[in-house]
Amino acid sequence: MSEIVFPPQRPARTKIVATVGPACDSEEMLTQLMLCGVTVFRLNMAHGSGTEDAQRRLDSIRLAASKLCRPIGVLADLAGPKMRLGEIAGGSYFCDPKIPIRFVRGEQVSAPNTFTTTYDCLIDDVNVGDSVMLADGTVTLRVSEKNSDSIVCNVLQGGFVRSRQGVNLPGVKLSIRTLQPHDIVHAKWAVGAGVDFLGLSFVRSADDVHELREILAETAHENTGLFGEIPHIIAKIEKQEAVEKIDEIIDAANGVMVARGDLGVELDIARIATVQKMIINTCRRKLKPVIVATQMLESMHTHTIPTRAEATDVANAILDGADATMLSGETAVGEYPIESVKMMNRIAEETEKFIPKKAWANYADDKFPHHFSEHHRNGKSVTNAICEAAVKLAETIDAKRILIASRSGVSVMGLSNLRSSAQIIGTSHNPRVLNRMNLYWGVIPIMNVPEEPRDSLREIVEVGKRAGRFERGDRLVLVSTMGHSTVNHNIIYAHVVD
């Protein structure tokens, strides 16, 4: 076993997910982003050359992380059934409210106001009265006529559209499958490549999550025989159907992403803030990590500072209870990826000062019901009861840190959900578990620990003393196992650094 290494202090506890793209995919840039606060890197499988580019970037991420001696999470984001316009004559067209738009099958068009799409079933799925949204919702159409080969739409809100821009059908039940053939190929690659999280786009029900999980499990079993060593599934909430079935989707998934881009087109935009809060509260109640994504620091594509509204948006997501906030184009193709990460980290650090310091007090206060999961409230899990007790003990003795050894990471996620003022240090001999801890609020994962839980905690304390992280008199709470326990954790003890 190599020496345990404490990562640099990270004042902000909210985690940062950063999308990897041409602006930051070198080992040097990835290293800088980690040092600035990135804990999870996102690979957008909709862009690049699929698995070839993704593998190259994954290798660079792992190499940079190994040189820094720290675990790092990697999220591969499946493209899903994204609908786009076909080619438009001249590349763009102004949708005038006075001129109806016609959609036809195939790839050829006969007039400037005639469009095709990449979704062959669009004409079959929509009905008269349905809405069709183009260009991220900036152009709104309503179906006025339908026949077997085309539909005619009135333009309610005009504007320019370009070739290959997105198409949304809010409220329409789509006949297309959530998992497309290319998604299945990418999912199977993710299993073999050791990706930590897999983002499932355009989820509509829990069945979509179950289907993906079966594919992942079968792939892992066939290729490695390690049944269960599969990426955790992050369900992306982008459709109205998903919002309507949010409880069952969260129950089925390992975590959730509030993907506000397409969601903001599918729903009335005035509802986005309240729907975001509802999803976060539900995730917290069900003990699942949640990421808030899309346009968080959008102006930092080309500017070194965000708008006031963007800074407030990030802060409000943190106050809502998000485990992580995400950067998309800001780091993938923006001009200031490092500045974007630093800014998000600064906003988190300042905002977290307003999170109540005493988690246990919140537990007894109905004003903060989202701070505690159903499992904590019902008291059905021994591990969750241990987590509650550890937090209460830490707050009673004013401990600076809670150290916990975990085989699966579930107990670490439980501690994170309680939002204790004590810093959480998580350990595991399983590197995949350590990588996943990077998505949990307030958790610092430590690498290279002994396999025996109690030994790992003792070793961390000793290394922490030598590294100057623990000072004489510091109070710590340690959570571990003892003997041949039938539960994951069965011992809590207070420790004073000597």
The domain ranges of the chain are: 15-79+179-351, 92-168, 359-496
In order, the DSSP letters of 278-296 are HHHHHHHHTT--EEEESST
pTM (2 decimals)? 0.91
Task: State the Cα angle at 245 between 241 and 251, rounded to 5°.
Answer: 135
Torsions phi, psi for 32 (to 5 deg): -60, -40
Q: How many CB atoms lie within 10 A of CB 87?
A: 14
List the 114-115 sheet strands across, edge first.
Answer: 114-115, 101-104, 150-157, 139-146, 131-134, 167-168
**Nearest CA among 464, 428, 462 for reference residue 447:** 428
Give the pLDDT confidence score for residue 363 in this predicted structure: 44
Tokens matching residue 168: 């949304």
The reported pLDDT for the residue numbered 489 is: 57
Angstrom distance (rounded) from CA 62 to CA 69: 10
Query: Between vectors from CA 127 to CA 126 and to CA 128, what angle results, nearest 5°?
Result: 135
Q: How many CB atoms are located within 10 Å of the residue 374 CB?
A: 13
pLDDT string in tens for the chain (498-residue length)? 457 877 777 779 999 999 999 999 999 999 999 999 999 999 999 887 779 999 999 999 999 999 999 999 999 999 998 889 999 988 899 999 999 999 999 888 878 999 999 888 999 999 999 999 998 889 999 999 999 999 999 999 999 999 989 899 998 988 989 999 999 999 999 999 999 999 999 999 999 999 999 999 999 888 765 545 799 999 999 999 999 999 999 999 999 999 998 898 889 889 999 999 999 999 999 999 999 999 999 999 999 999 999 999 999 999 999 999 999 999 999 999 999 999 999 999 999 998 877 654 444 444 434 444 555 455 456 777 888 899 999 999 999 999 998 888 888 998 999 999 899 999 988 899 999 999 999 999 988 776 666 677 888 888 888 878 888 999 999 998 654 444 555 688 899 998
Helix (H, G, I), strand (E, B) or coil at 344: helix
Is it true that domain 92-168 has CATH number 3.40.640.10? no
- Dihedral of alpha carbons 71, 422, 493, 379, sign: negative
Residues composing the chain: 498
Is residue 491 within 8 Å of residue 413, measured between CB atoms?
Answer: no
Q: Residue 66: count other Cβ atoms within 10 Å of its Cβ.
A: 12
Pick the CATH number of 15-79+179-351 from 3.40.50.10540, 3.40.190.10, 3.20.20.60, 3.40.50.300: 3.20.20.60
Measured CA to CA, the distance from residue 38 to residue 341 in angstroms comes to 7
Query: Which of 181, 189, 199, 180 shows the shortest CA–CA distance to 51?
Result: 189
Q: How far is CA 267 from CA 137, 153, 256, 408, 444, in A?
A: 10, 20, 18, 36, 36
Please report, in angstroms and rounded to a whole number, the separation of the first and last CA atoms in the chain: 25
Give the rounded distance of the alpha carbon of 350 from its chain centre.
Answer: 22
Q: Which residue has the tokens 């005035």?
A: 270
Tokens of 344: 């998000």
Q: In this structure, which amino acid lies at residue 279?
A: I
- For the CA atoms of 51, 256, 423, 73, the dihedral, rounded to the nearest 10 degrees, stands at 0
**Class of the 359-496 domain?**
alpha beta
What's the CA gap between 256 and 25, in Å, rounded? 25
| Confidence (pLDDT) at 82 | 84
